[in-house]
Amino acid sequence: MGFLDDLKKQAGELQAQQNQDTSALQRNAALVESACQSVVKYFNDLVRQLDVLRPRSAARYAFDNRTIVDGLQHGEFAADLRKKPLREQPVVDYIECRSKLKSGRTVRLAKNFINEMERVETAVRLAGVHCTPEPIRNPDNGKLIEVRYEFVADIACGVRVVPDHDRALLRFTVRNLDGIESVEGDFTPLQITQARLDELAKWWVGQPHRFWEGAQNMRRQEPR
């Protein structure tokens, strides 16, 4: 066997591996897309029901140790689906289901310690409220005296699903259903069943749930 024959053999083996890898990616993408369609259908139906029921949240939303809003009612429900190209095919980019907890309450806070500022700013960011911090400085030396915050405490709630087609995973990020926090974790397509999505619906209406059972790579963000 000559050198050219060796090259042909190597090229053939590489081509076979590439074809195998491409087939695996295509299978993964098909599984993820099927799971995404189940999520989209469920979210669209869930939004219609919740928009009628408008459940009241049992959670307490704390921007600091003394500023807490609670007893809020969900409203402004919406579901959304966005797509993107992947290997020249349209696939799901992300899916969202969201609501708003409207208090209409204007909150005014002033903080002069770094850790307190960081907690308020984290809470504001996670809650999805609009707030521009106002630094107050000593006019003589420019030293920071305090930072003031003013915002309307309307809380953005929701679930975002971002699929990873190549790895055959769907990442769920749930915001502010149990207080000001963001919780996320991965599921395989086969884990996306009606029973699991029902657990998410239970969570939304304030009932005990087991939504995160079996999730991978979980992460939680909350003000500290």
pLDDT, mean of residues 159-168: 96
Q: For 144-154, what is each residue's pLDDT tens digit?
A: 999 999 999 99
Q: For 62-82, what is each residue's pLDDT tens digit?
A: 999 999 999 999 999 999 999
For residue 6, what are its two tokens?
């060796």
In the prediction, which pLDDT does 53 show?
Answer: 95
Is the pLDDT confidence value at 14 over 70? no
The pTM of this model reads 0.87
End-to-end CA distance of the chain: 69
In the prediction, which pLDDT does 18 show?
Answer: 55
Pick the range with the lowest mean pLDDT from 7-11, 138-142, 148-152. Answer: 7-11
pLDDT, mean of residues 163-186: 97
